[in-house]
Protein backbone atom coordinates (compact mmCIF):
# COMPACT_ATOMS: atom_id res chain seq x y z
CA UNK A 1 0.00 0.00 0.00
CA UNK A 2 1.36 3.37 -0.99
CA UNK A 3 1.63 6.06 1.61
CA UNK A 4 1.21 8.79 -0.98
CA UNK A 5 -1.01 11.47 0.58
CA UNK A 6 -2.97 12.22 -2.59
CA UNK A 7 -3.74 8.54 -3.13
CA UNK A 8 -4.93 8.04 0.45
CA UNK A 9 -7.17 11.13 0.26
CA UNK A 10 -8.62 9.88 -3.04
CA UNK A 11 -9.26 6.36 -1.68
CA UNK A 12 -10.99 7.69 1.44
CA UNK A 13 -13.17 9.96 -0.70
CA UNK A 14 -14.14 7.12 -3.01
CA UNK A 15 -15.02 4.97 0.00
CA UNK A 16 -17.22 7.69 1.50
CA UNK A 17 -19.02 8.15 -1.82
CA UNK A 18 -19.62 4.41 -2.22
CA UNK A 19 -20.99 4.11 1.30
CA UNK A 20 -23.24 7.13 0.76
CA UNK A 21 -24.64 5.73 -2.47
CA UNK A 22 -25.04 2.25 -0.96
CA UNK A 23 -27.16 3.89 1.76
CA UNK A 24 -29.31 5.69 -0.85
CA UNK A 25 -28.33 9.13 0.47
CA UNK A 26 -27.80 12.27 -1.52
CA UNK A 27 -24.77 14.41 -0.87
CA UNK A 28 -27.02 16.93 0.84
CA UNK A 29 -28.73 14.28 3.02
CA UNK A 30 -25.47 12.84 4.31
CA UNK A 31 -23.95 16.26 4.85
CA UNK A 32 -26.98 17.27 6.92
CA UNK A 33 -26.79 14.06 8.97
CA UNK A 34 -23.05 14.57 9.49
CA UNK A 35 -23.52 18.25 10.43
CA UNK A 36 -21.28 19.59 7.68
CA UNK A 37 -21.68 21.68 4.58
CA UNK A 38 -22.45 19.63 1.47
CA UNK A 39 -19.63 21.39 -0.40
CA UNK A 40 -17.16 20.11 2.19
CA UNK A 41 -18.51 16.57 1.84
CA UNK A 42 -18.29 16.87 -1.93
CA UNK A 43 -14.65 17.92 -1.71
CA UNK A 44 -13.94 14.95 0.60
CA UNK A 45 -15.58 12.54 -1.83
CA UNK A 46 -13.66 13.99 -4.76
CA UNK A 47 -10.36 13.72 -2.88
CA UNK A 48 -9.84 17.48 -3.08
CA UNK A 49 -9.16 17.97 0.64
CA UNK A 50 -7.28 16.10 3.31
CA UNK A 51 -10.03 16.17 5.91
CA UNK A 52 -9.69 15.57 9.62
CA UNK A 53 -10.25 12.28 11.37
CA UNK A 54 -13.06 13.97 13.29
CA UNK A 55 -14.89 14.75 10.03
CA UNK A 56 -14.47 11.10 8.98
CA UNK A 57 -15.88 10.10 12.37
CA UNK A 58 -18.90 12.37 11.85
CA UNK A 59 -19.54 10.86 8.43
CA UNK A 60 -19.27 7.34 9.82
CA UNK A 61 -21.65 8.17 12.66
CA UNK A 62 -24.16 9.59 10.16
CA UNK A 63 -23.91 6.34 8.17
CA UNK A 64 -24.28 4.22 11.34
CA UNK A 65 -20.94 2.52 10.73
CA UNK A 66 -17.59 2.52 12.48
CA UNK A 67 -14.92 5.00 11.53
CA UNK A 68 -12.74 1.99 10.77
CA UNK A 69 -15.21 0.98 8.04
CA UNK A 70 -14.25 4.11 6.13
CA UNK A 71 -10.55 3.81 6.83
CA UNK A 72 -10.59 0.15 5.81
CA UNK A 73 -9.41 1.13 2.31
CA UNK A 74 -5.96 1.63 3.78
CA UNK A 75 -5.39 -2.06 4.65
Report how far residue 56's alpha carbon sits from residue 51's, in angstroms, rounded to the nearest whole number: 7
The residue among 60, 52, 55 whose CA lies nearest residue 23 is 60
- Model pTM? 0.91
Report pLDDT digits (tens) over 6-60: 999 999 999 999 999 999 999 999 999 999 999 999 999 999 999 999 999 999 9
DSSP run (H or E) holding 54: helix 53-62
Q: Per-residue pLDDT for 75 more than 90?
A: no
Report how far residue 27's alpha carbon sits from residue 74's, in angstroms, rounded to the nearest whole number: 23
3-state secondary structure of 23: coil
Q: What per-residue confidence (pLDDT) applies to 51?
A: 95
Which domains are present in the chain? Answer: 5-74 (1.10.260.40)
Which CA distances in Å does 13 have to 6, 18, 56, 67?
Answer: 11, 9, 10, 13
Q: Per-residue pLDDT for 1 more than 80?
A: no
Amino acid sequence: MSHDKDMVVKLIGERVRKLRIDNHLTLENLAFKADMDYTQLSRIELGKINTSLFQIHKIAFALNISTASILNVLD
